[in-house]
Amino acid sequence: MISLRQRVARWLLPPIILLLGLNAWYGQRNARETVNRAYDRGLMSSAHLIAERTYSNHGEVIVDLPYSALDVLGDGANERVFYGVFWPDGEVITGYEDLPRLSPSAQDAVAGDAVYRGEPVRVVVVRKKLYDPEQANASSVLVVMAETVDARSALSKELFYDGLRSQALLVVVGILLIWVTITRALQPLTRLGQAFARRAEDDLTPVATTGIPAEVKPLIDAVNHHMERIAAMLQARKRFVADAAHQLRTPLAVLRTQIDYGLRQSDPAEMRQALQGLGHSVRHAHRLTNQLLALSSAEAVNGLARERTHVDLAALAREVAMELSPLAVARQIDLGFEAPDPARAQVWGHPAQLKELVVNLLDNALRYTPAGGSVTVSVSWGAAVRLCVRDTGPGIPEAERSKVFHRFYRMPGSAQVEGSGLGLAIVREITQAHGAQVSLSEGPDGIGLCVTVDWPASPPWP
């Protein structure tokens, strides 16, 4: 694993070293040019001094060489100075005849680098005009001075190394400051890690974002959101275990009692009656277990509702109605299905959970509708995709309609109908997980109950 400090070092050090190298190259060049400008002034002054003492008289060039012109570096100078006065065609008038020359072109004075007798030298050339009508060779001469560059090189190196030392010191100090700054900036993360390490295993409370850098806040918010989801899932598991323990304890006790009672009987008729009671209790426990599992899987925290696809709600409702038709026949109930435009009844959801929703609505309607009544399931398309289950049962008073969606709640007077109070609770969980809405109202002509589930007309297709 690579730490943030190492990442910063990998990103910063190579560019810093590259910039330091480029700056060193530029500093060396700048130091050399600065020294050359300073020394060239003295060398150019000497050349001008010689040029001022050079003139033509009656066609003869006279060079009155001042010795001070050769002492361009002052006392204690170790440099050697060479001079020469030449005609423009290169013929020497006086001085070192093999001295390298630069062409001043349109300028009256130029300076540049050259090699003389195997040594690097600095050369300046000054053009001197001759105002002599009798001069037949040329109207001007070139005054050339050359100087060895040992002193220049030593001074430029000294300036370069001084600048390089100061820059290196600045880089080192900058790196230390960056390191200290990163260390201080990472302290909130260090404290955050220590706070996580000290937490109890079941502590899923949100992490405080006070004092956390703004760049880390999205990560902390994501962690808090994730912990909220985990806490909700754990709470759902605890609720499921508590519900199962509470609701299954009585059926299991009844089963054990019935088994013990049946084993004590020797009369076949009594044993048959005991087995019938045992079968009824088993069916009740089986249905209760299935509903508990369905309720647990329908909760949004389990994430099953996010595994969605296109569902033909009309075909699904017709399929469930066909499956429950034997129960309707056995209870002498007229079970009907209506879908004016089934092709448009498409919703986005989890097929198994949507089927569980329709099963619970139809099962409740068939259980509470008396013999001779009717139950109708319809699917329509309008402002929303609507599933409606109507029955001619006793209905639900308006004061009780908000309560029947609670778990294990049963209306007063409904004890004679077998049930566990989980059907509408399952319906509510499934509709909430799918972004739908469920509502209760009176049936046609105020008879029975109408349960309506609405999906948005334009669902968020992926």
Give the pLDDT confidence of 331-363 residue by residue, as tens digits.
899 999 988 776 667 888 888 888 888 988 898
Question: What is the predicted pLDDT for the residue at 351?
Answer: 85
Question: What is the predicted pLDDT for the residue at 307?
Answer: 67
pLDDT digits (tens, 9 = 90+) for 30-56: 888 888 888 888 888 888 888 888 888
163-170 average pLDDT score:
86
Cβ contact 118:106 at 8 Å? no
305-320 average pLDDT score:
81
90-111 average pLDDT score:
80
Residues of the chain with CATH 3.30.565.10: 305-456
Residues of the chain with CATH 3.30.450: 4-157
Residue 3 has pLDDT above 80, yes or no: no
Give the tokens for residue 403.
Answer: 């309560």
Tell whether domain 217-297 is in CATH 1.10.287: yes
68-77 average pLDDT score:
54
Can you list the pairs that 263-267 forms with residues at least 24 positions away whose Cβ atoms lie under 8 Å?
none
What distance separates the 2 farthest-apart alpha carbons in the chain?
Answer: 165
Strands 374-381 and 334-338: parallel
HSE of 179 in the Cβ direction (CA atoms, 13 Å)?
10
Query: What's the CATH fold of domain 4-157?
Result: Beta-Lactamase (3.30.450)
Residue 126 has pLDDT above 60, yes or no: yes
Mean residue pLDDT across the chain: 79
136-159 average pLDDT score:
86
452-461 average pLDDT score:
68
Question: What is the predicted pLDDT for the residue at 413?
Answer: 56
Residue 460 has pLDDT above 50, yes or no: no
290-311 average pLDDT score:
64
Compute how many other C-beta atoms are within 10 angstroms of the C-beta atom of residue 74: 7
Cβ contact 447:374 at 8 Å? no
Cβ contact 301:229 at 8 Å? yes
Question: What is the predicted pLDDT for the residue at 47?
Answer: 87
* Residue whose C-alpha is closest to residue 112's, from 142, 78, 145: 145
Residue 117 has pLDDT above 80, yes or no: yes
Question: What is the predicted pLDDT for the residue at 346?
Answer: 80
Number of H helices, E strands in the chain: 7, 14
Alpha helices in 53-149 (DSSP H): none
Q: How confident is the model at residue 382 (pLDDT cuts 50, 70, 90)?
A: confident
Name the CA radius of gyration of the chain, rounded. Answer: 52
Question: What is the predicted pLDDT for the residue at 412?
Answer: 64
Residue 236 has pLDDT above 70, yes or no: no
Residue 447 has pLDDT above 60, yes or no: yes
Those residues with Cβ within 8 angstroms of residue 275's Cβ, 6 or more apart along the chain or in another chain: 262
What SS3 class is residue 42? helix
Alpha helices in 299-422 (DSSP H): 313-330, 351-368
Residue 304 has pLDDT above 60, yes or no: no
Question: What is the predicted pLDDT for the residue at 76?
Answer: 44
CA angle, corner 13, sides to 10 and 17, nearest 5? 145
Residue 150 has pLDDT above 80, yes or no: yes
User: What's at 26, amino acid-wise?
Assistant: Y
Homologous superfamily assigned to 305-456: Histidine kinase-like ATPase, C-terminal domain (3.30.565.10)
356-373 average pLDDT score:
87
131-139 average pLDDT score:
77
430-454 average pLDDT score:
86
3 state SS for 212-256:
CCCCCHHHHHHHHHHHHHHHHHHHHHHHHHHHHHHHHHHHHHHHH
* Residue whose C-alpha is closest to residue 368's, from 298, 454, 287, 451: 451
Q: How confident is the model at residue 222 (pLDDT cuts 50, 70, 90)?
A: confident
pLDDT digits (tens, 9 = 90+) for 383-436: 778 899 999 988 888 888 888 877 766 666 555 556 566 778 888 888 888 788
What SS3 class is residue 392? coil
Question: What is the predicted pLDDT for the residue at 74?
Answer: 46
Question: What is the predicted pLDDT for the residue at 226?
Answer: 82
- With b for 16 or more beta-carbon neighbours within 10 A and e for fewer, the 53-64 pattern comes to ebbbeeeebebe
Question: What is the predicted pLDDT for the residue at 133?
Answer: 79
Residues of the chain with CATH 1.10.287: 217-297
Sheet holding 437-442, edge to edge: 334-338, 374-381, 384-391, 449-456, 437-442
Integer CA distances (angstroms), 368 to 147, 314, 336, 392, in order: 119, 24, 16, 9
443-451 average pLDDT score:
85
pLDDT digits (tens, 9 = 90+) for 181-202: 888 877 877 877 787 788 777 7
Percent of the chain with pLDDT over 90: 5
Task: Output the pTM of the full model.
Answer: 0.48
Question: What is the predicted pLDDT for the residue at 375?
Answer: 92
Question: What is the predicted pLDDT for the residue at 73?
Answer: 44
Question: What is the predicted pLDDT for the residue at 291?
Answer: 64
Cβ contact 69:50 at 8 Å? yes
